[in-house]
A = this chain, B = another copy of it.
Amino acid sequence: MAEDRHGTRGRIQAVALELFAEHGYDATSLREIAERLGVTKAALYYHFKSKEDIVRSLFDDYAREVDELIAWGRRQPATAATRRGLLDRYLDIVVRRSGIFRFLENNQAAMRNLESEGTKEVFRERMRALIDLTREPDAPLRERMRASLAFTAVHVGWLFFQDEPVSKDELRAVVYDIACDLATAPRDAQLSTS
């Protein structure tokens, strides 16, 4: 699960993310992280200046990756193909770094209390930028909500249905299909059909 890294610093990040996602940020103490690593708390403080600094370092990796995606999206023409490419690439990120997405989904309240400015807004701001790339900012509410749900569908679809007896490729395809449907301008709703 944890994307193992080289060096002690990377191992701390991997183990911390694992525990944060498993038991929650608040409920995970530095003692637990140190014990699973086979070192002491004080050793962690050599690599990170605080508990919050650890989570901040995890955010930075995530933010850099999504920022690149946003930059890519801004270079493309505003077509349906671009929107699908955006979702496709976003899905790649979620698949590859599912640990941090699971963590973010489950610890929103804990993240809101962080001291360092910027950290708490990292998630929300990137989401907003992605939605704006999928729909014009002044599009009607219904369209912006559907665009927002396209990304939510990527999170929920990939993370909640991990235990399904289907291959990861198939799961990914289903998620992609549903997300594209949401990101695509809707046909007239035919709600009265059975």
Q: Interface on A for B, CB 8 Å cutoff?
A: 21, 23-27, 79-80, 84, 105-110, 112-113, 141-142, 145-146, 148-149, 152-153, 156-157, 160-161, 164, 166, 170-171, 174-175, 177-178, 180-181, 184, 186-187, 189-194
Q: Given known contacts A149-B157, A178-B149, is B142 in contact with A79 (CB within 8 Å)?
A: no
B156 touches A110 (CB 8 A): no
A131 to B178, CA, bound (A): 16
In the complex, residue of chain B having the shortest beta-carbon distance to the beta carbon of A164:
B141
B141 touches A149 (CB 8 A): no
Prevailing SS type, chain A contact patch: helix
B26 touches A27 (CB 8 A): yes
B181 touches A189 (CB 8 A): yes
Residues of B contacting A170 in the complex (Cβ-Cβ under 8 angstroms): 141
B24 touches A146 (CB 8 A): no
